[in-house]
Each structure stands twice: as structure tokens, then as C-alpha cells.
Amino acid sequence: MKASTLLLCLLCLLLSDTARAGFLDDAAGRSEGILRLAELGLAKSRDADLRVQARRLIEEHGRALTDLRLIARQRGRSLTAAPSSGTMAALDRLAGLAGDDVAAAIRWQLAQEEAGLAAVCRAQAGTGDDLQLVMLAEQWLVRLERRRGDQTDMR
Amino acid sequence: MWGRLTAAAALAGLGVAAAWAWTGQASFAPLPEAANAQPLPGAADHRQAGREAFYRDSFGNTVFLSDVVGLLDGGLQPAQVLKALLLLQGQGTGNLRVAVSRPTIIGYRSFRPGDMIDTGLDVPRGGWLPLGVRLDWQRGRLRVGLTCAACHAAVDPASGRVVDGAPNADLNLGLLLALAPNSAALFPRVAMPAVAPYLTDRGRSVATSDGRTRLLPEPAPFEADIDALLAAWPAGSLDTTPDLVGNPVQIPDLFNTGTQPAGWSGDLAVTDRHHGLGDGTADADGAPRLFGLDPEVHLGILLQNAPGALRFTPGGGPPSARLPPRRPAADGTALAAFVASLRPPLPQQADTEAAAAGRQVFLRAGCARCHDGPTLSNDTVVPVAVLGAEPSRDGYRVKGLIGLAWSAPYLHDGSSASLAVLLDRSLRAPLQAELRSSAAARASHVTGQGHGWWVDAQAGYAAAEQQALIAYLLSLTGPVEMPPPAVAASGEPP
């Protein structure tokens, strides 16, 4: 085998591994962001519908993070579950809000975060690579899209 | 020596007779006599046909429970069940206790052979078979199915007679299913939102319906985790919704089904025969939408660890090819007519004075705002945000109140042992705290939350008024007439 072919193979392997790590960390970051937003919703809002949604999300994404950590551990790596800088800024802004607007603002931000997570899952599901992560992304996508449908119905 | 031989022969004879009655029960064994038989006019034959179906028809779950889940292939073996039945000597029981046949570990519990488990199965006095258990001998294999009566009929401990429509409040379905070798086939009914963590063997693959390749979970850890989640179901409950969320609900009574829809979430028809433990393979077509799984992956999960001929070996063609043809659905109208006719037995003694006072409390407290109509339900589904219930379901149907004396414990999750706990904050709060500290309760969403309307001291009611209300509620045995809404609503809900 030529040295250049070997180098190319190694590069592909490295890139593919980076992509997998990218999905795990991206999904974990999004989940963590949703989790923190839901906790903020519980802490700041008396809106009954938002509180139900928040409790549901805390459970779902708590479980999602557990699954992601388990998969990362199976692969001999740790997980970085850090929300993006944009999400952190939104969390700071929302924490400073008060009054009736809080529920609507948190609900809007949650929808953004879930749309972001759906995009991450859609990208992973589309790769067809790494069946464990593809199937995880497919299952999450169905759940996220069903909830988006429910919210559309509610409107 | 001779005595022992005689005893052994007698036991064997009894065993043969019982087995004969078991295997033939679908056709000729008499139905148990009900303590609450109704002398209703018209269509008696139709209702009788419905009662036959109620006790004898498993509506197709026999193959699923026997050939897919393996109910008789795990910790519970037919011989031990037969022995437990024979030891009853026809006395009947509300809880058949059966010895475990082989060493089994479920969650944090380990069972040794001989350890007794509470099945919660009811056997009527003079009967030789648990209520609602159907056995069939087909192609050299004993199969078990569950009929409506397993969950929705119970033995009255006082008389030993059967009460049609009373919930079997201690039926330990979760544990019975967990003891089976392929409980994994019930994964949509427990908290298993993603199978990915179990997809660790790249060789365990299945071809999907559109020609792609997908993986199946590693059977042993998957089975162990599902066993633990099933065993966490409280007795007298099951998860009626295959939605990857573990939220079992209490088995309901059937005294309030004159109107539709039924079920705790108001999402069932009486004739929906798959609401209990129906055939999980029937969910395959909906698996992409329901579970995010290809139909062949869904079936592969269900069948890869099945006992016997239906077992699917990864890489061995599509799992769907292993399924037997489905039998056509039976006519459910007779069953619906029978169920709609069910009423609880009349109470032996009722405090009519207290009940009359309790009715006034009922009206004053505004209970009739929701608990209205002949069965004291307005048939609406109340959102969890309004009820203050835990959020794993969208809402709960207003419960009809006929026959409450037969349907304890109360609340959708069966957590309130008495009506006092349901109505009184000072009793419910400690219950909720206790449930929060229980891992099994958390895993099953049993929280004691919901029905946040109170008739207690904090709402301004004296203890005697609360007791009178409870006496009234426990006295309800048939259709009720409420005053017109203007009067009924004179008291604001607390």
C-alpha cells in the first residue's frame, strides 16, 4: 500500500471518529441546554402548561443524557455536555426576565433548542454511518417531530 | 408405603382432572357464578355470549404471551402453578401463591427455587383455574392466554364468589411478565425511550423493510433492564400505552362503562381488545411513527429471544416471516353489551343516614361539576396541568364513581389506599413524599399526584362531613340522578 493511501485512510478514520464525537457532544450540549431551560421554566413561571412541559422535558433529556454518557463510555471517551454560547446567553437573558412574558419567552427558546437538536439528529441519521448513533438519532427525531406536531395542534 | 402410594395416586388423579379442566375450559367448563349477576330485561343471550368471551377469549394474546414472551418458560412453570392450585383444595383465594421454579434475578431481587411469589391471581371457591387464565394445548405445547377476567373480575374475599367487573387489585402482572424469559417483547410499555445503548454487537443486524441494515439490542442486558422496570409496576396495575414511557395505571373497574370513551386517559373503547396485553407484534406497522424503529427492527427485538419456534436469529431473513397469520377480530358487540350491564353487588349493610348527609357534602363541595351524569362522570378528559397530575400522560378522564367500594385503591396510579387519602391533603402529602423516595415508584411514574380537589379541614370541612361524603361514595351501586346543574354547582370546587 502506498504511503499516501495509508495517510488518506488514517485521515478518513480520524474525520469519521471526529464526526461521531461531534454528534455525541452536540446532542449532549443541546439536551443539556433544554434541561437547563426547562429547570428555569419551573423556577420562574407559574404557567401550568409550561410547567407540565418542563417536567416532561427534564425527564426525557435527563434520560437522553444518561444514554449518551453510556454510549460515550462504551467508546472509551467522556462526554462534553456544554450548551452552546448562544444558549448560555439566552439562559442569562431569560433568568433576568420577570412577569407574564417569561413563560412565552422560555417556550420560544425551548422550541429553538429542540429544532437545533432535531437538526443535529437529522444530520447524523442522514450519514448512514455508525448504526448505533444513526438509530439513536432516528428514535429521537421521531419523538422531537411528534412533539412539534403536538405543539402545532395546540396552536 | 401403601398410604403414600394412595396419596400420590390421588394427587396425580387430581392433577390429570385439573389439567383436563384447564385445557378444555374454553369449550365446556362452566363459567363461575357471579355475585353481581344482573336480572336485566332483553338481550340476555347476547350478554351471556359477551360473558363467555369475557371469561374465555384471550383475543389472540395467547400466542404473544406464550410463544413470544414465554410466560410459562421462565421462573413460573406449569407444574408449580398446578401444585399451588391443588393445594387450595377448592377453597379459592384472592392471591394464588406459586413457588418459583428456577433461580431468577430481577432488578435487585433474587429468587431461589421454592421461593413463593404473590401472583395476585384469583381462584373462586370450588374452582380449579385462576380467573381469566386460558390454557390451550396446541402442537405439543401448553400455551397460556389472559382473558378480560384476569384483570376485570375478582373473588370477593367474604363470600369466595366472583364479582364480574371488579378490578383485580393485587394482580402482580409486572412481576409475572418480568419472570418470563423474553419480557423484552414488552419494551414499548416501559421507560425505554432509546434502544441505542444496547446496540453494542455489530453482528446482531437485521435487514429493514426498505433494504437497509439496522442493529438489534444485546438480549441479556436489554432483558435485565426491562425485567427490572416491569417488576416496578405496582400490583393491580399495567401500562396500557405502548409509548416507550413507563406509566402503568391501576386496573379499572367496569362498573362505569355505560358511556365512552373508557380508560384512564379516555383513549379506549371497551371493544379495543388490545388495551391490556394484546399482541405486541401488531404494533410493527406503526413502529416507525410510534417508536422510531423500522417494522422489522421492532419485530426483531420482540422475537430474537422468543422461546420456541418463533425465535428470530439475526441475519436469518426478515423477522416478519416468522409470524403466524393473524386471526380475524371477533365481534365485540356482545362483550360491550355484557360490560355495559355490569353493576357492583349491593352492599351488605349501608349507613343510609351518613350517605344522605354525604350526598349534600358532595353537592356543596362542587364534586358534581365533573362527577355528573348517571355514573357520576361528565366523560371529559382533564389535562394534567389542571389536575396537577404527573406529566407522562396528557390528561385523565373523569372517573365514574359507581362501585367505589370495589375499586380501592384509588387515583389513576392506585397510590391512594382509601378515599380519605384521596380527599385529604394532610394524608396525601406524606404519601407523595414517600413515593418520591421510592425508586420503583419513580420508575413507574407512581407519584400520588392528581385530583387536586379536597374535602378536608383546610377546605373548611369537618371530619364528620368528610366521613359522610366517603360513606355516600362507597354506597353508590347504580346509576345516580343528580339535581340540575344550577343546584349541583352551588358550591365552588375548593
Which tens digit of pLDDT belongs to each residue from B343-374?
Answer: 999 877 778 899 999 999 999 999 999 999 99
Q: Which residues of B touch A23 (CB under 8 A)?
A: none
Per-residue pLDDT band at A151 (split at 50, 70, 90): low
User: How many inter-chain contacts (A to B, CB under 8 Å) are there?
Assistant: 71
Q: What is the pLDDT of residue A1?
A: 52
Task: Tell me the percentage of chain B whose pLDDT exceeds 70.
Answer: 88
pLDDT at B261: 67
Q: Which residue of B has its CA nearest to A141?
A: B292
If you average pLDDT over residues B99-123, what whole number do you get?
A: 94
High-pLDDT (> 90) share of chain B, %:
67
pLDDT score, position B328: 66
Q: Does the pLDDT at position B23 exceed 50?
A: no
Q: Mean per-residue pLDDT for A122-145? A: 94
Whether the CB of A17 is below 8 Å from some CB of chain B: the reply is: no
A142 CA: distance to closest CA in chain B (Å): 5
| Interchain contact A12–B (C-beta under 8 A) | no
B203 at the A interface (CB within 8 A)? no
Average pLDDT for residues B138-150, to the nearest whole number?
Answer: 90
The mean per-residue pLDDT over the stretch B126-147 comes to 90
Q: What average pLDDT does this structure show over B141-145?
A: 92
CB of A143 less than 8 A from some CB of B: yes
In chain A, what residues touch B213 (CB-CB under 8 Å)?
131
Of B202, B292, B384, the CB nearest to A139: B292
Average pLDDT over residues B109-128: 94
Joined together, the cell numbers standing for residue B12 give 396425580
What is the structure's pLDDT at B326? Answer: 74
What's the whole-number mean pLDDT along residues B478-483?
85
Which pLDDT band holds residue B301 (cuts at 50, 70, 90)?
Answer: very high
B contacts of A138 (beta carbons < 8 Å): 292-293
Q: What residues of chain B lie within 8 A of the CB of A128, using their CB?
A: 212
pLDDT at A86 over 60: yes
Supply the mean pLDDT for chain B: 88
What percent of chain A lies above the pLDDT cut of 90?
74
Under the banding of pLDDT at 50, 70 and 90, the label for residue B2 is: very low
Query: Is pLDDT above 80 for A99?
Result: no
Q: Is the pLDDT of residue B9 over 70?
A: no
Q: Is the pLDDT of residue B165 over 80?
A: yes
**Nearest CB to A67: which of B194, B205, B391?**
B194
CB contact under 8 A, B196 and A67: yes
Over residues B336-346, the mean pLDDT reads 89
The pTM assigned to this predicted structure is 0.89
CB B232 within 8 A of CB B174: yes
pLDDT for B273 equals 53
- Mark yes or no for CB contact B292/A140 under 8 Å: yes
Secondary structure of chain B as H, E, C letters: CHHHHHHHHHHHHHHHHHHHHHHHCCCCCCCCCECCCCCCCCCHHHHHHHHHHHHHCCCCHHHHHHHHHCCCCCCCCHHHHHHHHHHHCCCCECCCEEECCCCEEECCEEECCCCEEECCCCECCCCCCCCCEEEEEECCEEEEEECHHHHHEEECCCCCCEEECCCCCCCCHHHHHHCCCCHHHHHHHCCCCCCHHHCCCCCCEEECCCCCEEECCCHHHHHHHHHHHHHCCCCCEECCCCCCCCCCEECCCCCCCCCCCECCCCCECCCCCCCCCCCHHHHHHHHHHHHCCCHHHHHHHHHCCCCHHHCCCCCCCCHHHHCCCCCCCCCCHHHHHHHHCCCCCCCCCCCHHHHHHHHHHHHHCCHHHCCCCCCCCCCCEEEHHHHCCCCCCCEEECCCCCCHHHCCCECCCCCECCHHHHHCHHHHHHHHHHHHCCHHHHHCCCCCCCCCCCCCHHHCCCHHHHHHHHHHHHCCCCCCCCCCHHHHCCCCCC
**pLDDT tens for each residue of A24-34:** 999 999 999 99
Whether the per-residue pLDDT at B480 is higher than 70: the answer is yes
Q: Measure CB to CB from residue B197 to each of A53, A59, A67 and give the nearest one.
A: A67
B287 to chain A, minimum CA–CA distance in Å?
A: 10
What band does B461 get if pLDDT is binned at 50, 70 and 90? very high
- B289 lies within 8 A of chain A by CB: yes
Confidence of residue A5 (pLDDT cuts 50, 70, 90): low
Q: Which of residues 360-399 of B touch A (CB under 8 A)?
A: 383-386, 390-392
Nearest chain A residue to B390, by CA: A52
* Confidence band, pLDDT 50/70/90 cuts, at residue B376: very high
* pLDDT at residue B29 in the model: 65
Average pLDDT score over residue span B451-473: 97
> In this predicted structure, which of A136-140, B387-391, B406-410, B464-468 has the lowest mean pLDDT?
B387-391
pLDDT at A119 over 60: yes
Q: Is the pLDDT of residue A11 over 60?
A: no
Residue B270 confidence class, pLDDT cut points 50, 70, 90: low
pLDDT at position B329: 65
- CB distance A67–B292 less than 8 Å? no
The C-alpha of A139 sits at a distance from chain B's nearest C-alpha, in angstroms, of: 4
Q: What is the mean pLDDT of residues A26-49?
A: 96
Q: Which of A142, A146, A147 to mutate to test the interface with B (most CBs of B within 10 A)?
A: A142
Q: Which of A52, A71, A142 has its CB closest to that of B385?
A: A52
From the list B197, B215, B289, the residue facing A142 with the nearest CB is B289
In this prediction the ipTM stands at 0.85
Give the per-residue pLDDT at B20.
47
Instruction: Tell me if A55 and B293 make a contact (CB, 8 A cut-off).
Output: no
Residue of chain A minimizing CA distance to B290: A142
Among B192, B247, B384, which would you mutate to test the A interface (most chain A Cβ atoms within 10 Å of its Cβ)?
B384
Q: Chain A closest CA to B389's CA: distance in Å?
A: 9
> What band does B158 get if pLDDT is binned at 50, 70 and 90?
confident
pLDDT grade for B8, boundaries at 50, 70 and 90? low
Residues in chain B closer than 8 A to A74 (CB atoms):
197, 200
- Tell me which of A7 and B264 has the higher pLDDT: B264
Beta-carbon separation of A53 and B391 below 8 A: yes
- Tell if the CB–CB gap between A133 and B293 is shorter than 8 Å: no
